[in-house]
Structure 1
Amino acid sequence: MATFWNRRTAIIAGVAITLLGAYYVYQSPTSIAYTMSNTTSSNRVPGLEFKLTQSSRNPPVLLATLKNNADTPYTLLKWGTPFDSAALNTGIFKITNAETGVQVEQMVLQINRKMPPPQDELVTIAPGTEEEMQVVFNKPWMPAQKPAKYKVKAEGDLKGLWDKYGGDLTEDDLNAYIESPFSGRKFSTNEVVMEVH
């Protein structure tokens, strides 16, 4: 009988220690938060910041701003970013109805690009400067309901980014844009509430 109670006490103590240990790990945000933020920031380009603001309600227009806070110039290949002339056809914008939370279904197209990328598909941002681009949300897949509010954010992978001025890029650099120093790095903008009237 005493052996039964000793075994039972040992099992209860083991379960209690396991539960307390799990509770401690679960309640300890330091290591988890540090790892997640470190991973996220390490895959971004230091000093580059994309931002969205609304500049018009009718038609709905968002102003995309790319700011360079670094000490080095950057030249960006616009493809697959808010600066892409085909940005609304590439699926980089996440659009949800601000009231219902329902995501707006977009028509994403497969786009054939001219190689090497022409100069007008590049934008150079000198240190301490910013560039802007207006994106008009006038595609047929946009809901017709007016007035309306939508939460909009852009995110994706950079196709090509060099830490030098555009005039210093060679044709070989442009042909091999996928091998540029920051190709594949993540970008994301703030989330903005876009009003449509």
Structure 2
Amino acid sequence: MKSGTKILIVVAVIAVILIGSVVGTYNGLVTKQENVDNKMADISVQLERRTDLIPNLINTVKGYTKHEESIINEITTARENLVGAKTVEEKAAANDKLTSALNGLTVIVENYPDLKSNQNFIQLQDELAGTENRIATARRDYNEAVKEYNKDIKKFPNSIIAGMFNFEKAAYFEAKESAKSVPEVSFE
């Protein structure tokens, strides 16, 4: 075999290895990016479930709290903002505002013993609490997927492939400090 042929074979083998490495890295990044998108969809489903519960909760509360219009308006506005949110940052901010408004409702409900004992209200509160837990779980899963994805696009040589194919850093779904505190609710 001539030395030119040997060099050509070595170059071809190296090219195949490099192409295989690029394809493998690219596919791995696509998989992680899809996982991030899937986890964001899970959060969106739970946020939508939560926003769907709110009109029923508001209607139940309205009958008892006719003069507490400001909190009802605040919840309604926060719900509309959450429904209209597009980016992760917008959803996180809207979620924080809605959580804050619902915490305000919890405080007001304490002044209405009949409302606290209303079965429909109790059921809605239970459903809302369950949904809040699902949102927290979905947010944790999403942030874990984001961490893995962001870590991967920063590693060498993945960072080169990520730059070539425009893989951008994903945003975390972060709650503000005020939204991290769990309100105390007593229905006794």
Q: What's the TM-score, normalizing by structure 1?
A: 0.29
Structure of greater relative contact order (alpha carbons < 8 Å, 6+ residues apart) = 2
Q: Could you say which structure has the higher strand fraction?
A: 1
**TM-score normalised by length of structure 2:** 0.30
Q: Which has the larger share of helix?
A: 2
